[in-house]
Structure 1
Amino acid sequence: MDANPTLDQLQVFIVVAETGSFSAAARALNRAQSVVSYTIGNLEAQLEVQLFERSGARQPKLTDAGRAMLVDARRIVADLQVMRSRAKTIKRGLETELSLAISVMVPTDALVAELSEFRREFPSVALNLNVGELGRVMDLVVSGKADIAIGGALLKQDDSIVADRIGHAFMLPVAAPDHPLAQMGRPLTLADVREETQLVVTDSSGMTSGRDFNVLSFKIWRVSDVATKHHLVKGGLGWGGLPASLVRDDVRDGNLVVLELDAYEQGEYPLYALRRAANPPGPAGQWLIESFARRLSTCPSKAHFDATLKVDGERQAYPQAAE
């Protein structure tokens, strides 16, 4: 078996290349110049390539092969430093990887802001992110595919799951401006919406099978996800409820109209941090829960959103959620 270069040999090689001479490298490494030269000679013998051009020059100069090997040497040393850092975090109890499930009800602005902070706080922790609808978020925690979830309340009693309320959101019934319901120009009754197509998201987890939330129309189109529903509603293919944070800009810009429909329940939708009781979060997971709690607890209330509907002008202005 061929002898592999050692980490020490690669580090000496890098220092010689960066300082430009064996003597400067020896001073930087606090070693005898003969030891540095011997180390580089052994490395060249193991790799079977000449790394430095020594003849006819006062200072060693990297050969073409040396320049190529320098790139590899720096990458290997950097990878080993990452390995050492990860080992230190493991020793301290910090997670090496975290799986997070996020409900579509969590404002996108809040998600991006929190994950940006998370990356700065825990650069060595790998993150797996899943965004889901309805029961999908809880299902990911129950199945062990997510360490933590930020989403709605438990859809069924499960003593193995810990649920801590950390904030709220809510849905708004909306339609495109040229939709018949938006053109009525008055508060809508249940009879008004019965014959209009309502777009409804189907829960892929099966946890809400047989249960419909705020389904008022006789004509129903079922879609797999909120993003598709959003596009179809904007395209005038039906009406439906969408997260207020998702439609805020569309309503402000006149691309969607909020329907005045008392029959549609618009109460606050609680948001919880969900996890398995047998799997308490480590430092990174706990930080993430507490950080989301601080941000989501500042989301505007339903009353605040309702007040903005009364703003004078052609466009309805909504405050940015979870800033």
Structure 2
Amino acid sequence: MSEPGTPTLDQLRVFLAVVETGSFAAAGRRLNRAVSVISYGIANLEAQLGLTLFDREGTRRPVLTQAGQAVLIEARSVSRGIETLRAKVKGLSQGLEAQITLAVDVLLPGEWLGRVLRAFAAEYPTVTLRLHVEALGAVNALVIDRRAAIGVSGPLASEAVELDTRALGSVEMVPVAAPDHPLALAEPLLPGAARDHIQLVLTDRSPLTEGRDFSVLSPRTWRLADLGSKHALLREGIGWGNMPLPMIAPDLVAGTLKLLKMPDHPGQTYRFSGIWRHDSPPGPAASWLLGQFAACDH
């Protein structure tokens, strides 16, 4: 048995037109070709593949054979791939990035991130996205080292001389503990009371701020590199700590965490900035991303 030939893209286009319009005549009108040309193209495609794609007997409209139905799936896949390729090439010719590596602060609300990236996938379907989620100075380090094109960084963004910044909004950080933690049971809390208890602290995996502490009150600390783990340990009553309000708001409602009214540490506003290197300004898709993050806080 001889090997099947390789169909041309035009043959597949004609085949899909017949399927989608329901007849050779309608396919001819769509493609601005004579019916005879459409019929000839299908006949050539069938000859190349060694298959009968349409059952033409006893019906006015061409009906796909079982083999034709199988070929249809692959033809549509090839067509989508070509459309994606054409869109990507068009975007590249207009200066659109082929890929964006984005670094975001772990304290960025997940709702914001999900909303923006869902919209990004719809707006720029040809642009590949790589995402890094890091804490504190590690976001800056990724952009400075060119491992990320843009970032959404916390307050440390202003310390990096290599970076340009754009304000993107903020989130409230609040001190919390489990409802059975001694700090949650004490009323009222006295200044300095938190120093007697373990504080869960998010650590920085970047050498840019290695050894520095941020909002640390207690000499007794457990240091974690993951915000999710910190959240879980807080709910278990292992220490107290500062958390982004949007993340623990459901816990406050459910009573699994309690807001600590500390007279010497009521909380703080954690401000986000879009960042990029001076010498590598964001392209069209990256600029769009930063604009969408800026809109999240409004």
TM-score computed with the length of structure 2 as normaliser? 0.88
SS in 2 for 1:131: strand
- 1:134 equivalent in structure 2: 136
What is the alpha-carbon distance in structure 1 between the residues aligned to residue 187 and residue 293 of structure 2?
38
Partner of 1:178: 180
Q: Would you say the 8 A contact 1:94–1:282 is kept in 2?
A: yes
Quick one: distance in 2 between partners of 1:19 and 1:193?
72
Distance 1:56 1:113 in 2: 53
Tell me if structure 1 keeps the 8 A contact 2:103–2:134. Answer: yes
Structure 2: gaps (5+ residues): none
Instruction: Report deviation, 1:130.
Output: 2.2
Partner Cα separation in structure 2 for residue 188 and residue 230 of structure 1: 24
Q: Is contact 2:178–2:257 with CA below 8 Å preserved after alignment?
A: yes
Q: Secondary structure of the residue that 2:47 maps to in structure 1?
A: helix
Cα offsets for 1:49-77 (capped at 9, x unmatched): 22123455554332211110011111111
CA distance in 1, matches of 2:84, 2:233: 46
Paired residue secondary structure (2:108): coil
Alignment of 1:28-177 (within 5 A): 28-55=30-57, 57-154=59-156, 157-177=159-179
CA contact (8 A) 1:99 1:146 kept: yes
Give 1:174 shift: 0.9
CA distance in 2, matches of 1:289, 1:148: 8
Matched, 1:246 2:243: no
CA–CA distance in structure 2, aligned partners of residues 60 and 220 of structure 1: 74
Alignment partner, residue 304 of structure 1? none
Give the match's secondary structure for 1:268. strand
Query: Are residues 1:204 and 2:208 paired?
Result: no
Does residue 292 of structure 2 align to residue 260 of structure 1?
no
Equivalences for residues 239-318 of structure 1 within 5 A: 239-264=240-265, 266-296=267-297, 298=298
What letter is aligned with 2:170?
Answer: H
CA distance in 2, matches of 1:206, 1:165: 24
C-alpha deviations, 1:248-299, integer Å up to 9, x for none?
2322332222222244373432321111112111122212222322333x4x
Distance 1:290 1:174, change over 3 A: same
Asked whether the 8 Å contact 2:102–2:149 carries over to 1, the reply is: yes
Distance 1:257 1:11, change over 3 A: same
In the TM superposition, what whole-angstrom CA distance separates every residue of 1:155-188 from its partner, at most 9, and x where no partner exists? Answer: 7854332123332334211101110111011123
Q: CA RMSD in A?
A: 2.4
Contact 1:98 1:125 in 2 (8 A): yes
CA shift for structure 1 position 239: 0.8
**Could you say what secondary structure the match of 2:207 adopts?**
coil
Higher mean C-alpha deviation, range 73-82 or range 13-22: 13-22
Distance 2:293 2:23 in 1: 53
* Structure 2 counterpart SS, 1:207: helix
The answer (yes or no) to whether the contact 1:214–1:265 under 8 Å persists in 2 is: no
Code of the aligned partner of 2:267: Q
Q: What TM-score results when the alignment is normalised by the length of structure 1?
A: 0.82
Q: Determine if contact 1:12/1:25 at 8 Å carries over to the other structure.
A: yes
2:11 equivalent in structure 1: 9
Deviates more, 1:97-106 or 1:68-77: 97-106
Give the 3 Å change call, closer, same or farther, for CA 44–265 of structure 1 in structure 2.
Answer: same
1-side partners of 2:89 and 2:240: how far apart?
Answer: 53
Whole-angstrom distance in 2 between the partners of 1:208 and 1:175: 27
Identity among equivalent positions (%) equals 43
d(CA) in 2 for partners of 1:189, 1:226: 26
Aligned to 2:20: 18
CA distance in 2, matches of 1:2, 1:59: 26
Secondary structure, aligned partner of 1:124: coil
Q: Closer, same or farther in 2 for the Cα pair 1:156/1:272, shift >3 Å?
A: closer
For the 8 Å contact 1:153–1:271, the answer to whether it is kept is: yes
| Aligned residues between the structures | 296
Aligned to 1:224: 225
CA contact 2:242–2:267 (8 Å) conserved in 1: no
